[in-house]
């Protein structure tokens, strides 16, 4: 990542009315995603806490037709949402990977 990297945040994707009074689904964000890809904006930030995993699910669906090697994906560990497992960080990562439909994240 360089100093001039622009990242598209997906905080409100999958929000389902919680913050912005919207009820947008994948179809609403597809033009946003497609325009970003066309313009070379290929770094996306998401998290389990964004829409309770909804953001990752939407992004995972939208990424389906883009070679994964052309994307940079970051997600985050949220201690307040961590499951009571032996390795909650790994558990949350595995759940994020499943929602994102990928086998790795970049950051």
pTM of the model: 0.88
User: Which pLDDT does position 18 carry in this prediction?
Assistant: 57
Please list the active-site residues. 50
DSSP characters over 15-71: -TTSSSS----HHHHHHHHHHHHHTT--EEE--TTGGGGHHHHHHHHHGGGS-GGG-
- The per-residue pLDDT for range 30-77, each reduced to its tens digit, is 999 999 999 999 999 999 988 889 999 999 999 999 999 999 999 998
- The per-residue pLDDT for range 1-43, each reduced to its tens digit, is 666 688 999 987 876 655 556 677 889 899 999 999 999 999 9
């Amino acid at each position: 990542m360089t100093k001039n990297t622009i990242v598209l945040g997906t905080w409100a994707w999958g929000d389902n009315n919680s913050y912005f009074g919207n009820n947008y689904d994948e179809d609403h964000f597809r033009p946003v995603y497609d325009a970003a890809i066309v313009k070379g904006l290929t770094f996306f930030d998401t998290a389990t806490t964004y829409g309770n995993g909804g953001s990752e699910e939407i992004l995972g669906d939208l990424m389906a037709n883009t070679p994964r090697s052309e994307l940079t994906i970051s997600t985050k560990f949220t201690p307040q949402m961590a499951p009571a497992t032996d390795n909650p960080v790994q558990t949350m990562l595995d759940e994020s990977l499943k929602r994102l439909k990928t086998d790795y994240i970049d950051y």
